[in-house]
Amino acid sequence: MSRIGKKPVQVPAGVTASVDGQKVTAKGPKGELFFVANDEVSVKLENNAVLVQPLNESKDARSKWGMSRTMIENIFKGVKDGYERKLEINGVGYRASMQGKNLQLALGFSHDVVYQTPEGITIAVPKPTEIVVSGINKQQVGQVAAEIREYRGPEPYKGKGVKYAEERIVRKEGKKK
């Protein structure tokens, strides 16, 4: 039994949800998202809560059961509150700035890196060493943050590079004489 899948997903206040076959649609103050559940699970809307059940006891159906419930919960939270991911830049001369809708990064290369902001994502630079990626789609926010981090990931000797705000870099000791 899936411990996560057993729990019904409560529809938050201010969010309207509808279930049409396998498609769950959520509309809230931040926007509208939908999730299409796999054919091996059934989705029902009862008492202002979405119930997800596996259609059979196969390993495949049970594995998609908990994942489907989590995806539905994520779209509800996304349309109500949204998601955000903070990145920090460490290093001498490393900085970020917004140029229109594009993010411009100076990361020690001979040229500045320009990142095109995708549709549905908002990037803010409150300080030159801090980047905030926000949006309603959890997967897309995480993907954009990972792509920005990928340009110059944190290195283990001096800790220079782009890292997640909550990430802890394991430092290595340098060469000894």
Which residue(s) pair with 17 in the sheet?
Answer: 26
pTM for the complete prediction? 0.88
Task: Tell me the per-residue pLDDT of 138-176, one tens digit each, with 9 for 90 and over.
Answer: 999 999 999 999 999 999 999 899 999 999 999 999 888
Last residue of a domain, one of 32, 58, 80: 80
CATH number at residue 55: 3.90.930.12
Distance CA 117, CA 139 (A): 15
Q: Are 41 and 63 in contact (CB under 8 A)?
A: no
| Residue 171 domain flag | no
Distance CA 131, CA 148 (A): 9
How many structural domains are present in the chain?
2
Angle formed by the axes of helices 138-151 and 59-80, to 10°?
Answer: 90
| Residue 176 domain flag | no
Same domain (yes/no): 15, 41: yes
Task: Tell me the per-residue pLDDT of 12-53, one tens digit each, with 9 for 90 and over.
Answer: 999 999 999 899 999 999 999 999 999 999 999 988 999 999
Owning domain of residue 23: 3-80
Structure tokens at 18: 């509808």
Structure tokens at 123: 């990037």
| Residue 65 domain flag | yes
Same domain (yes/no): 87, 160: yes
Distance CA 32, CA 75 (A): 9
Task: Tell me the per-residue pLDDT of 106-141, one tens digit each, with 9 for 90 and over.
Answer: 999 999 999 999 999 999 999 999 999 999 999 999
Same domain (yes/no): 70, 91: no
